[in-house]
Amino acid sequence: MKELTKAEEEVMQLLWKLKHANVAMLIDEIPEPKPAYNTISTIVRILESKGFVGYKKQGRGHIYFPLIEKERYSKFSLTKLMNNYFDGSMKSMLSFFVKKNDVSLKELEEILKEINKKE
């Protein structure tokens, strides 16, 4: 899977949220100052070429939709982060985030409960 730029990821976040949208709908979701129509259109076409976005024709335009699930890209991104910064160690990565974010014992217990539910 290819890594997304910050701008590409922002557009993908919108598509994951909306499920399907044309360029104008995407722009409507972006706070001021809004980017140019051509900017978002170009990013969407790049996402399409990377295999992240599909489209169906609607009138003279296109409706875009995600081809890659958010969870799949999240897993890819976290694995890359873990491999690049924590020598592939999940334990090191989690320990880092717990320490840097001052996670309380109560929060850790809640996290463990969520993990145990999935088993």
pLDDT, averaged in runs of 10, over the chain (119 residues): 96 98 98 96 98 96 97 96 94 90 89 83
Question: Which CATH number applies to 6-66?
Answer: 1.10.10.10
- Write down the pLDDT at residue 119: 62
* C-alpha pair distances (Å), 11 with each of 33, 47, 55, 85: 15, 9, 14, 26
Res 117: pLDDT? 85
Residue extent(s) of CATH 1.10.10.10 domains in the chain: 6-66
Residues 6+ apart with CB under 8 A from 17: 29
Residue appearing with tokens 């491999």: 83
